[in-house]
């Protein structure tokens, strides 16, 4: 399940469920970069853009690499450990005192669905090689026209 967890994180890094969010300052404050924020100011962040930032994720930011979330624990046994990221650079579930209370439950549910589906079926992408689905960022995210796949029974 460690690799599944890393794959889910990597998927949400590239395609966050809520791509843009904002908060309103309740008091005057100063951001870590020195920017002064007055009470009542709305501050927005773009999780979609942050997930594609070379400054945060390195030169391979465009690659789907679940391994960026893993650390080898036992080379011989091929055991991996999950390495979380700073929630302020990976704000898919918010960060700080406003972090999503359902984050762990969401991961449990996602892992259960993924493992249940993949245990019984093969999921094959129907996109042509090199074709990227068009991501549409509204209040919540989706792929234009969905993401075409073929489901094959593993027993048949």
* 57 contacts 69 by C-beta, under 8 angstroms: no
* 136 contacts 144 by C-beta, under 8 angstroms: yes
Which residues are annotated binding-site positions? 100
CA dist., res. 8 & res. 111, Å (int): 8
Which residues are annotated binding-site positions for heme? 100
Which residues are within 8 A (CB) of 110 and not within 5 positions of it... i.e. 6 or more apart? 8
CA dist., res. 3 & res. 122, Å (int): 17
């Amino acid at each position: 399940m460690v690799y599944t967890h890393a794959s889910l994180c990597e998927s949400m890094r590239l395609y966050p469920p809520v791509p843009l969010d904002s908060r309103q300052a309740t008091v005057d404050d100063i951001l870590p970069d020195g920017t002064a924020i007055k009470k009542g100011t709305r501050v927005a962040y773009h999780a979609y853009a942050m997930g594609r930032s070379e400054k945060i994720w390195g030169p391979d930011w465009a690659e789907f690499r679940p391994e960026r979330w893993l650390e080898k624990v036992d080379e011989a046994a091929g055991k991996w450990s999950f390495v979380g990221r700073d929630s302020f650079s990976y704000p898919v579930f918010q960060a700080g005192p406003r972090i999503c209370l359902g984050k762990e439950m969401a991961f449990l549910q996602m892992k259960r669905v993924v493992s249940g589906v993949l245990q019984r079926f093969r999921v094959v992408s129907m996109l042509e090689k090199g074709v990227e689905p068009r991501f549409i960022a509204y209040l919540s995210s989706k792929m234009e026209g969905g993401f075409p796949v073929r489901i094959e029974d593993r027993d048949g």
